[in-house]
Amino acid sequence: MAKWLFKSEPDVYSFEDLLKKGKAGDEWTGVRNYQARNNMRLMKIGDQGFFYYSNVGKAVVAVVEVCKLAHPDSTADNPTWECVDIRAVAALPKQVTLEDIKLDPKLKDMVLVNNSRLSVQPVTDAEWAHICKLAGHKA
């Protein structure tokens, strides 16, 4: 099962907003970048991802999972843009900040560090396991 990372500015869409949607989850709309869209096309039901706060917060704060495969983004004026649906799994007991990630040699190759502008990105199994450990999250 592949792992991912979803970026959001907390004042635009926070983990609490997603929690309110419950098991049904919510559409991850608004992605207007081909690489990010292609990543969403690769997602399968049950794939898990981190929820990352960009700009304000700058930390991995929660775990989410894909509950609907990529489909056209209803907020886009062009059908080339797609989105998946995700739902909340759990808030992390301890947030892992961007600074933590940059300082950790095991995480320094993360896409988050090297291509900070990509809003939906893949995470390797090793990175996933390490961040879960740092965050006190039991898989």
Which residues contact DNA by CB under 7 A?
A: 7, 9, 32-35, 54-55, 58, 98-99, 102, 112, 114-119
Q: Which of 46, 53, 38, 42 is nearest to 6 (CA)?
A: 53
Collapse the DSSP code of 2 into the 3-class scheme (helix H, G, I; strand E, B; otherwise coil) and give the result.
coil
Q: Which CB atom, from 44 or from 84, has the smaller least distance to DNA? A: 84
Identify whether the C-beta of residue 113 lies closer than 8 Å to the C-beta of residue 101. Answer: yes
53 φ/ψ angles, rounded to the nearest 5 degrees: -95, 115
Place of tokens 């949607």: 21
The distance of closest approach from Cβ of residue 8 to DNA in the complex, given in angstroms and rounded to an integer, is 8
Distance of CA 48 to the CA centre of its chain: 8
The distance of closest approach from Cβ of residue 114 to DNA in the complex, given in angstroms and rounded to an integer, is 7
The distance of closest approach from Cβ of residue 112 to DNA in the complex, given in angstroms and rounded to an integer, is 7
Q: Which CB atom, from 75 or from 115, has the smaller least distance to DNA? A: 115
Q: Which CB atom, from 44 or from 55, has the smaller least distance to DNA? A: 55
d(CA 103, CA 108): 7
Collapse the DSSP code of 119 into the 3-class scheme (helix H, G, I; strand E, B; otherwise coil) and give the result.
coil
The distance of closest approach from Cβ of residue 104 to DNA in the complex, given in angstroms and rounded to an integer, is 14
Identify whether the C-beta of residue 3 lies closer than 8 Å to the C-beta of residue 124. Answer: yes
Q: Which CB atom, from 6 or from 128, has the smaller least distance to DNA? A: 6
Q: Which CB atom, from 22 or from 34, has the smaller least distance to DNA? A: 34
The distance of closest approach from Cβ of residue 3 to DNA in the complex, given in angstroms and rounded to an integer, is 18
